[in-house]
Structure 1
Amino acid sequence: MRYVLEGLLIAAAAAGGWLLATPHGEMPVMAPHGAAETAAARTFGFCHSGGGIDCVVDGDTFWMDGTKIRVADIDAPETHPPRCAEEERLGNAATQRLRALLNAGPVTLVTADRDTDQYGRALRIVTRDGKSLGAQLVSEGLARRWTGRRQPWC
């Protein structure tokens, strides 16, 4: 996976993390325990099965350049399989919205507190212009903030 890093990484004393500061003075992004990489704009489709190049699996998982990425700061409703009709409705809406957000322009991937999860997915906070796409999904009622464990949607 090849990314172009835009900006400077500056060590931050708070929380042992990093601050991503851009040369244009935009709002810094906290990147706990990791670095940030900016990915060029691309077109995402939907993953119907297996891996992919640039496609969205569900509301908190997508493939980019052959790497499976889990949006680290949220938990979205399940779609494979949903546990009830409401989870299916919300999960499908979250999947479509994540695709739209990813297709809206370049994103910055910030390494979370761990590089990968128990399933081998890269854990990343996905941002654009210093704002979390996960937080956007939460504000729209399509996901919850990640608290360290899943909670039921039914």
Structure 2
Amino acid sequence: MWLSLRSVRDAAIWALIAAALMVLYEFNGFISVSRVWALILPPGPDTLAASFSYCAGGARRNCVVDGDTFWFRGEKIRVADIDAPELSPPRCPHEAQLGEAAKHRLLRLLNDGPFSLTVGFRDEDQYGRKLRTIYRNGKSLGDVLVSEGLARPWTGSRRSWC
């Protein structure tokens, strides 16, 4: 037999762990798919860096659009593990204010030093943005935005900030 009982058992254990984490994600919304994926494949070394600015008209190379979207090396990236307030357009003054704060903070975080990007379960979203989680020293920069009240963990759907 080409499969040993141990390899089948190990695969079953990993499948049960993954299923339990997905249930927690789906029904409780407190663990994101990106965080589950990071448990399986931890981030690599922080070797990426650029000088980021705010996005404006024209070519976009290294710039921040809002609290969860930025361009890096000419590629549009959606921060996979968070949901930040919308800026285009915001649905209320509170969302506009929080969205601007999230955008400014993401810019500072990206410019604070080298980071790494990891791919989760999906490479792109329906808008063609690359889905990536940003890490520095093994800590998600999305978690930093969440801890500061500027974003929420991504739970699979958007909710109102108003």
1:153 alignment counterpart? 161
Q: Distance in 2 between matches of 1:37 and 1:50?
A: 32
Percent identity over the alignment? 55
- Which structure features the higher share of strand residues? 1
SS at match of 1:77: coil
2:73 counterpart residue number: 65
Q: CA RMSD in A?
A: 2.3
Quote the residue 2:134 is aligned against. 126
The equivalent position to 2:143 in structure 1, one of 129, 135, 138, is 135
What displacement does 1:49 show? Answer: 3.7
> Which residue of 84, 105, 115 maps to 1:76?
84
The superposition leaves residues 116-142 of structure 1 with CA deviations (integer Å, 9 ceiling, x where unpaired) of 000000000100000000000000000
**Measured at CA, do residues 152 and 111 of structure 1 come closer, stay the same or move farther in structure 2, by a change above 3 Å?**
same
Aligned length: 130
Unaligned runs of 5+ in 2: 1-13, 20-36
Q: Which has the larger radius of gyration?
A: 2
TM-score normalised according to structure 2 size: 0.73
When residues 105 and 35 of structure 1 are mapped into structure 2, their CA distance, relative to the original with a 3 A threshold, is closer
Greater relative contact order (CA < 8 Å, ≥ 6 in sequence)? 2
Partner amino acid, structure 1, of 2:84: A
For residues 109 and 37 of structure 1, what CA distance do their matches in structure 2 show?
9
Runs of 4+ residues over 3 Å off in structure 1: 13-16, 31-39
